[in-house]
Amino acid sequence: MTSAQKTSARVNAAPAETPTFPLNAWYAAAWSHEIEHALAPRTICGKEIVLYRRTDGAVAALENACWHRLLPLSLGWLQGDEVVCGYHGLVFDAGGRCTHMPAQETINPSACVRTYPVIERHRLVWIWPGDPALADPAEMPDFHWNDGTEWIGEGGTYYGLRCDYRLIVDNLMDLTHETYVHAGSIGHDAITAASFDVTHTDRTATVTRWMLGIDPPPFWARNLGKPGLVDRWQIITFQAPSVVVGDVGVAPVGTGAQQGDRSQGVNGCFLAAITPATATTCHYFWNFVRTFKKDDEALTRSINLAHVNAEGKGLYDQDVTVLEAQQRAIETHPRLPFYNLNIDAGALWARRMIDRLLADEAQRSAPAAAAE
């Protein structure tokens, strides 16, 4: 093709100093039940994206900016499975192709908006914000505990939480904080007293802590329903870049839980899919699921409420208060970020894996940017 200079209304954002999140990964964007036949905007990894469910049930994810004048498409409306821009009526199909332009009988061939690969799995909608050619369903983190089948629980999301997503990874990879942030619920002095092991693979990091022969904290004592001391475990696994699954529970002391027989105990998992929105904000998809009292809907509701409630007094609300205050402190105290302690080993392994993904991506020279 030959032509004189063409300017198009695509502005490449000024490059961030150092990226803090990899783009070539699956990130939770919404709970499945949140995405209906309506336009739902999300900011994912610095990308403005609009999601909607097509009439055939599949979820479409488009760049949330009209090709023509960049108005967010989420301010328009759906016409069948196509999005009508609310400014001048350009229409885009679920593949991002423009199918109608006002006041002309043809369509400009370069008119399209970017689409993002989508997978709906484990009751969540996941987006691949990076190079679509690299989007491989096999790269999906294991989040099967959230299926609502074997493990039971109803979670929620903190959208637009005002902190770097890695602060949540730090938070979950070191449960020492439970003793202080969550004193009176799941906190326990034994957590800080017990030693822990940290192991890793090339894509995961695991912190394992066993507290043997301790008094069960109230939540676990109630749900175990057996008197006496317990062996308590917290086995927390990070999957790069931002999924954390914590296998937690108690069993009567000496019944072999540490050796693998948990049949006498009760077991739960806290689940976290953390999605960067910007460098300093994120979405925190959380759940707490269990294999005990699976039919007890009142328990499901109360566990959900215990994590987050309308008064902002839930367990996770306590974390949010800390995380957002920490982010503000990072911005006002620009000394290089933190001192590290022995308890941070799990978080540091997690951050090393994130850094590795970032380095790999830097080597690929930001193909996602070129695709735009």
Partner 1 sequence: MASIEWSSGRLRSVQDLTADIRLFEIERDGPFMPAAPGAHINVGVEIAGRPDTRSYSVVGADDDGLYRIAVKRVPQSRGGSAYMWSLAPGARMRVSAPRNHFPLSLGKGDYFLVAGGIGITPLYGMALALAETGARFRLAYAARTRADLAFADVLAARLGDRLSLHIAAEGERIDLAAEIDALPADAELYICGPLPMFEAARRHWQTRGRAPARFRFETFGSSGRYASEPFRVKIPRLGKDIVVPQNQSLLEALEDAGVEMISDCRRGECGLCTLPILETDGIVDHRDVFFSDRQKAAGGKICTCVSRVSGGEIVLDTPDRAG
Q: How far is the CB of 120 from partner 1 (least distance, A)?
A: 15
Q: How far is the CB of 97 from partner 1 (least distance, A)?
A: 3
Q: Is 259 in the site for partner 1 (CB under 8 A)?
A: no
For 8, 91, 206, the CA distances from 76, given in Å and listed in that order, are 22, 10, 45
Q: Is 195 in the site for partner 1 (CB under 8 A)?
A: no
Q: Is 330 in the site for partner 1 (CB under 8 A)?
A: no
Nearer Cβ to partner 1 (117/314): 117
Q: Is 372 in the site for partner 1 (CB under 8 A)?
A: yes
Instruction: Kindly tell me the burial class for residue 99, based on how many C-beta atoms sit within 10 Å of its own C-beta (0-12, 13-18, 19 or more).
Output: middle
Q: Is 12 in the site for partner 1 (CB under 8 A)?
A: yes
Instruction: Kindly tell me the burial class for residue 268, based on how many C-beta atoms sit within 10 Å of its own C-beta (0-12, 13-18, 19 or more).
Output: buried
Contacting partner 1 within 351-370 (CB under 8 A): 364-367, 369-370
144 Cα distance to chain centroid: 14
Q: How far is the CB of 351 from partner 1 (least distance, A)?
A: 25
Please report where in the chains the tokens 């920490």 appear, as a residue: 326
Alpha helices in the chain (DSSP H): 165-173, 178-181, 189-193, 218-224, 297-307, 315-332, 345-363, 367-371
Nearer Cβ to partner 1 (117/276): 117
Query: Could you give the CA distance from residue 241 to residue 20 in angstroms, rounded to a whole number?
Result: 10
Q: Is 325 in the site for partner 1 (CB under 8 A)?
A: no
Residue 165 near residue 275 (C-beta atoms within 8 A): yes
- List the structure tokens of 268: 């739960």
Q: Is 106 in the site for partner 1 (CB under 8 A)?
A: yes
Q: Is 115 in the site for partner 1 (CB under 8 A)?
A: yes
**Residue from the set 18, 104, 259, 363 that interacts with partner 1 by CB under 8 A:** 104
Nearer Cβ to partner 1 (86/132): 132
Query: Could you give the CA distance from residue 314 to residue 304 in angstroms, rounded to a whole number?
Result: 9
Q: Is 371 in the site for partner 1 (CB under 8 A)?
A: yes
Q: Is 112 in the site for partner 1 (CB under 8 A)?
A: yes
Q: Within the chain, what is the greatest distance between any pair of CA atoms?
A: 82
Q: Is 18 in the site for partner 1 (CB under 8 A)?
A: no
Contacting partner 1 within 59-98 (CB under 8 A): 93, 95-98
- Interface residues with partner 1 (CB under 8 A) are 1-12, 93, 95-99, 104-110, 112, 115, 117, 132-133, 364-367, 369-372
